Amino acid sequence: MSNQTSPNSDIRAVLWDFGGVFTTSPFEAFTTFEADRGLPKDFIRSINATNPDDNAWAKMERNDVTKAEFGDLFEVESRAAGHAINGSEILPLLSGRIQPEMVTALSIVAKHYKTACLTNNMQTGHGPSMTGDADKAADIAKIMEIFELVVESSKIGVRKPEPKFYQTACEMLGVEPSQAVFMDDLGVNLKPAKAMGMTTIKVLSAGQAIEDLEAILGISLR
């Protein structure tokens, strides 16, 4: 249970990424897929990192394209890089295993601070599930109910790491960036938040992230 004696009053909100934070990283699934197909290691990540503001992945997360259009665009981009893969094969890889210790931490944080989920996604259902997996979507929906606010790239038309995404989230919560902690597993998404004045945590593992957040907030999250 939490030691609720001295929560940090300088912080008013904790903002969380979803994939790679509440679930295991999809990069593990990418690596397995690449090995099974005989593809170069990190090939999928290299496609997503090429022209990152306007590639198929970015368009999907801003909801500028349909699921089918994403599949075809990703295939064009991957073919140009040497190995054609339809994006429809990539989407199922995004659904990682839920990490219950992070859900526990969120539940405790929510008793003391404003909370928001900041997720890049596409509209295939509710919340940050991009896979259309009904069972996983139901599990995710239960976690979404804990958050005060869920900010989805596909609904607001901007995505991490665009500064407007973070500005919008803070405005919706009614906090200044300097009053917020933001957790994400990707450094590229943390840089703009940190530049705006947020305290940032790069999530390498659930245990490490919870320890770092405990140190900032001054409460136990286990």
Mean pLDDT, to the nearest integer, of 81-94?
Answer: 93
- Total count of domains within the chain: 2
Strand order in the sheet with 13-16: 149-152, 114-119, 13-16, 180-184, 199-202
CA 93 – CA 35 distance, rounded (Å): 14
CA 217 – CA 205 distance, rounded (Å): 18
Q: How many CB atoms lie within 10 A of CB 77?
A: 19
| Of the residues 93, 114, 132, the one at which a domain ends | 93
Region at 55 (left for phi over 0; alpha for psi -120 to 50; beta for the rest): beta
Q: Residue 111: which domain range?
A: 13-25+98-217
- With helix as H, strand as E and coil as C, how does 151-172 read? EEHHHHCCCCCCHHHHHHHHHH
Cβ atoms of residues 213 and 105 within 8 Å: yes
54/87 same-domain check? yes
Angle of CA points 42, 44, 49, to nearest 5°: 90
> What residues form DSSP beta bridges with 199?
181
Residue 3 belongs to a domain: no
What's the pLDDT at 5? 52
Output the domain CATH number for residue 178.
Answer: 3.40.50.1000
76/110 same-domain check? no
Task: Read off the pLDDT of residues 137-187 as tens digits, 9 standing for 90 and up.
Answer: 788 899 999 999 999 999 999 999 999 999 999 999 999 999 999 999 999
pLDDT value at 60 more than 50 = yes
Residue 89 belongs to a domain: yes
pTM of the model: 0.83
- With helix as H, strand as E and coil as C, how does 62-116 read? CCCCCHHHHHHHHHHHHHHCCCCCCHHHCHHHHCCCECHHHHHHHHHHCCCCEEE
What's the pLDDT at 134? 67
130/204 same-domain check? yes
Confidence of residue 102 (pLDDT cuts 50, 70, 90): very high
Q: Largest Cα–Cα distance in the chain?
A: 57
CA-nearest of 15, 51, 47, 13 to 30 is: 47
What's the pLDDT at 126? 39
125/209 same-domain check? yes
Here the tokens at position 148 are 């005060």
Angle of CA points 102, 190, 77, to nearest 5°: 100
Residue 86 belongs to a domain: yes
Q: Is 203 helix (H, G, I), strand (E, B) or coil?
A: coil
| Of the residues 77, 93, 109, the one at which a domain ends | 93
Task: Read off the pLDDT of residues 119-134 as tens digits, 9 standing for 90 and up.
Answer: 998 775 434 545 456 6
Cβ atoms of residues 159 and 165 within 8 Å: yes
Cα dihedral: 54, 60, 65, 69 (round 10)? 100
